[in-house]
Structure 1
Amino acid sequence: MISWLDASVDEQRRMRELAALFTQRESRDELGLGQIRDSISDALFPGTSTLHTRARYLLFVPWCFQYAARAKPARRVKRLDEVERAIIRPLRESADPDGLLGLRAGAALKNLPSSVYWSMLRRYEILSRPVGSAEALDHSVPTRHIDDDGAVTMTSIWSVPPPPAGFPYEIPDGFALTPSEAGWLRDHILEHASGTLLTHFTLTRPETDSSTPWSDAAAQTAPKRAALVLRHAEDFSTVMHGAQLLYNYLLAVDADRLGAREESLADTYREQFELWAMTVTERTRAWRFDDLHTVLRREHDGPVVIAPGAQAFVRAWSSLVQSYPARALVDLPEAQQLIRHRERIKGAKMRLGNAKRLAAWSGAAGSEALTYRWNNVRRIMADLHDGLQRA
């Protein structure tokens, strides 16, 4: 069981993301790189998270609030809960339910869309004021204003197009954005994520099957500022992937030595390490953590919190990459000792040298290269561009 106390919506979001990472192999933070990974992700794709799956949720949540706000004040919170669960059925029955929150849990879903997407709604100012859900409910019904000249305007805390007829019990188009909805979302991203790689992909559609943002053809035309962040993201991913693979290789070696697994994976990870070594270029060797840190401080317009231990580990590993042939690192005592020392941050939960913990090892512990939420971002961008292209 995991429990926590949160004092803000942002802290709650971070903890939900942390819990979600346990189910994503490529996101497992075995070497304590999460703060750096997330800072890079936020610089590339501000407002996004590993919990965000489809673009139209940025409309579903406000529509649910507007619908629930019609109820009497004492029933609004309960009505909101009912409405958020009600949209699961029509979305599950739609032509493309991929990314549906509650696809398996149904109405028993624990993390409702409003809690998952709240930070994104605030980041893009779809929610016009930084308030909590209770206050948002009270201000979700448009308010009539008359100015000094007698002109009448209707204002709401939500800046969204109107919902489709029959919402929330009928959603014929499912997750498919209409052209007007897609144009509305595009404008919000362009205004509130200006100059980032996310803005570039908002204007230039990414490929449907690219495995990383830097391998996508659309990234080749990214503007200078976004391209610099992307270059550091790629270099950091490449450099640290070697450490991730060495960690898994050492787990496999220890598992063999202690008889913790029936199947040996040592040769498999040695081969993967050799393949990684072939990806290390002169540019990769020249990469410096301090340069990345400078770029992140500029992108975040202030200090970036990164634990001193994580900084020291990244500097030490990148120094080894710069000083030795990449293929030699798998057997280098200094490299192995660095990984084993880093593992000690887990205390009693450390796997290396621990037969009991190794017996529960799945065979892959954070062995995939970092891609910075790319699968989620690519899906959201596909939704947006599909909507813009719909006749």
Structure 2
Amino acid sequence: MTQLGWIHFSPAFKSKVDSILDRLDEEGVVDELGVGVFRDAIADYFFPGTSTIQTRARYFFIIPYLIKDFLQQKGRRQDELDRYLYDQEHELMWRLAAKYGFNRTAGFGVIGITKKPKQRIARRPSSIYWNGLRTFHFIQTDLSLAGYSQWLSRSMEHRSERLVRETAADDADVEQVDWHGIKVSTYRHDWLLDLDLPLLYEEADFFLQRIKDLFPQTLLGQLAMGKNLWENMRNADGFETFARTAQDSALPDQLKQQLRFAHDLSIVVEGLHWVYCHLIHVKHYSDHQFAGQFEIWLDELYDRLLDVEQLHLDTFFDSLPRARPDTLQFIVQVLNLVRTRQLSMDAFAVLVQKQEIRIKGQKSRLRDAALRDFQQSEQKSLFALNYRFGNVRTLLNDIFQGLSQ
């Protein structure tokens, strides 16, 4: 198994790599057929600013609070934000982990919950949450975390000169408050005294209002505004159930249709999963055990689909996601087989084998000289698409719990 090792220990450099890794870590399962690009595009549309590696809403406030603390430090070198965040994020990690007894269940969502003092984590909250902080305008910048840190250092060097040049007192006040781009109004100097995972009321209210103001037409915005819709999500056992129950809600018709497409695409991907598992097991173990799983899936398919007639990409996408042309062709062909009711194990198998070899190249398990790198009965490839459902439910639950105080 290929592993990454750091040969450059600059926090700024590492944060650049971390931001790339964040985008590669959606749902944590290797995408053998390239369909994850559609999952991620749909999730970005439904739930902007979120990711599968975000854990709790609290971190959306911890990072800007730490930066505000840094800006108020006296006598610090002006290029130390990276190091300051590195040190403080680990200190807070150890503190929260100890608060919950280093127990994953008790401290659900604490990043690094099992780490004892002096133990470090590879990906810190600042890199995990940076895109979300920008998306929700907690920190107003287009820069990466590393770029923002560098910009902040340069700005601190020239800030005094810039303020002196201001002629209008009101303008100077605005400059003093907003020059760093941090737009979180809930900061308190003593916020660390009662550090915990739950949001305070004013934080929950701030976050909910941001979602409503910035993304009212998205599924996330509708969840923030609709109590009944949120109850559907809170009580659902997964995305499939939620998408079904949401059809009876007050959602706009377009969002309902997009939910139906996302729901049905996820079910189709289950079929691709069973075919891929079948093909690699037949090739490497002469084992046909997954053929039965595919047949069960096929027997139930059209009862599970919500809108088979609209199962094509332009139902959801005004412009197609950035995907390889052969991957776009692959998913179009797959959906066409389902929509026209011409699918079979053999029809899917032809498409899956060609796509996996194109995507994986020399690492393909289906090419002629492929090596066996998995155990018998082990399942590979994506199975269904949750579109960050669990992460978003936790985020919103934190917000609504905070508002209930």
TM over 0.5: yes
Relative to 1, partners in 2 of residues 1:165 and 1:129: Cα closer, same or farther, differing over 3 Å?
Answer: closer
8 Å contact 2:269–2:383 — kept in the other structure?
Answer: no
Is the counterpart of residue 134 in structure 1 residue 153 in structure 2? no
1:304 positional shift: 3.4
Measure the CA separation in 1 of the matches of 2:21 and 2:62: 23
Q: Which of 101, 107, 118 is 1:97 aligned to?
A: 107
One-letter amino acid of the structure 2 residue matched with residue 118 of structure 1: W
**Deviation per CA, 1:325-346, whole angstroms, max 9, x where unpaired?**
66xx23x3x3222211111121
Q: Which residue number corresponds to residue 122 of structure 2?
A: 110
Q: Secondary structure at the match of 2:239?
A: coil
Is the counterpart of residue 73 in structure 1 residue 78 in structure 2? yes
8 Å contact 1:91–1:171 — kept in the other structure?
Answer: no
**Deviation per CA, 1:336-374, whole angstroms, max 9, x where unpaired?**
222111111211111126663344577111252111111
Q: Which of 311, 321, 341 is 2:338 aligned to?
A: 321
8 Å contact 1:45–1:198 — kept in the other structure?
Answer: yes
Is the counterpart of residue 357 in structure 1 residue 372 in structure 2? yes
Relative to 1, partners in 2 of residues 1:137 and 1:192: Cα closer, same or farther, differing over 3 Å?
Answer: farther
Q: Which residue number corresponds to residue 225 of structure 2?
A: 203
Measure the CA separation in 2 of the matches of 1:139 and 1:77: 15
Share of identical aligned residues, percent? 23
Relative to 1, partners in 2 of residues 1:209 and 1:250: Cα closer, same or farther, differing over 3 Å?
Answer: farther
Q: Which of 19, 22, 27 is 1:16 aligned to?
A: 22
Q: Which residue number corresponds to residue 291 of structure 1?
A: 314
1:52 positional shift: 1.3
Is the counterpart of residue 231 in structure 1 residue 260 in structure 2? yes
TM-score, normalisation: structure 1: 0.81
Relative to 1, partners in 2 of residues 1:136 and 1:351: Cα closer, same or farther, differing over 3 Å?
Answer: same
Q: Which residue number corresponds to residue 261 of structure 1?
A: none
1:147 positional shift: 4.3
1:183 positional shift: 0.5
Instruction: Write out aligned runs for 1:195-274 (5 A).
Output: 195-204=217-226, 205-206=230-231, 207-208=233-234, 210-216=236-242, 217=245, 220-221=248-249, 222-257=251-286, 266-267=288-289, 270-271=292-293, 273-274=295-296
One-letter amino acid of the structure 2 residue matched with residue 102 of structure 1: G
One-letter amino acid of the structure 2 residue matched with residue 104 of structure 1: T
**Deviation per CA, 1:55-112, whole angstroms, max 9, x where unpaired?**
1111000011112222342444322211111110232234552122222345411211
8 Å contact 1:186–1:384 — kept in the other structure?
Answer: yes
Q: Which residue number corresponds to residue 91 of structure 2?
A: 86
Relative to 1, partners in 2 of residues 1:277 and 1:191: Cα closer, same or farther, differing over 3 Å?
Answer: farther
Q: Which residue number corresponds to residue 103 of structure 2?
A: none
8 Å contact 2:186–2:203 — kept in the other structure?
Answer: no
Q: Which residue number corresponds to residue 397 of structure 2?
A: 382
Relative to 1, partners in 2 of residues 1:389 and 1:162: Cα closer, same or farther, differing over 3 Å?
Answer: same
Measure the CA separation in 1 of the matches of 2:348 and 2:340: 11
Please list every run of 5 or more consecutive structure 2 residues that lacks an aligned counterpart in the other structure: 101-105
8 Å contact 2:37–2:322 — kept in the other structure?
Answer: yes
8 Å contact 1:213–1:374 — kept in the other structure?
Answer: yes
Instruction: Write out aligned runs for 1:362-373 (5 A).
Output: 363-373=378-388
Relative to 1, partners in 2 of residues 1:359 and 1:126: Cα closer, same or farther, differing over 3 Å?
Answer: closer
Measure the CA separation in 2 of the matches of 1:225 and 1:11: 37
Please list every run of 5 or more consecutive structure 1 residues that lacks an aligned counterpart in the other structure: 258-263
User: Mean Cα displacement is larger for which, 145-154 or 38-47?
Assistant: 145-154
TM-score, normalisation: structure 2: 0.78
8 Å contact 1:182–1:384 — kept in the other structure?
Answer: yes
Q: Which residue number corresponds to residue 260 of structure 1?
A: none
Measure the CA separation in 2 of the matches of 1:315 and 1:184: 42
User: Mean Cα displacement is larger for which, 344-353 or 217-226?
Assistant: 217-226
Q: Which of 343, 348, 359 is 2:362 aligned to?
A: 348
Instruction: Write out aligned runs for 1:24-39 (5 A).
Output: 24-25=28-29, 28-39=30-41
Measure the CA separation in 2 of the matches of 1:16 and 1:139: 28
Measure the CA separation in 2 of the matches of 1:138 and 1:63: 20
Q: Which of 166, 179, 184 is 1:160 aligned to?
A: 184
One-letter amino acid of the structure 2 residue matched with residue 363 of structure 1: E
Q: Secondary structure at the match of 2:372?
A: helix
Relative to 1, partners in 2 of residues 1:43 and 1:151: Cα closer, same or farther, differing over 3 Å?
Answer: closer
Superposition RMSD in Å: 3.5
One-letter amino acid of the structure 2 residue matched with residue 310 of structure 1: T
8 Å contact 1:122–1:128 — kept in the other structure?
Answer: yes
Measure the CA separation in 2 of the matches of 1:151 and 1:355: 66
User: Mean Cα displacement is larger for which, 205-214 or 106-115?
Assistant: 205-214
Measure the CA separation in 2 of the matches of 1:312 and 1:377: 31
Q: Secondary structure at the match of 1:46?
A: coil
Q: Secondary structure at the match of 2:205?
A: helix
User: Mean Cα displacement is larger for which, 155-164 or 195-204?
Assistant: 155-164
1:139 positional shift: 6.6
Is the counterpart of residue 308 in structure 1 residue 332 in structure 2? no
Q: Secondary structure at the match of 1:79?
A: helix
State the aligned residue count. Answer: 367
One-letter amino acid of the structure 2 residue matched with residue 270 of structure 1: G
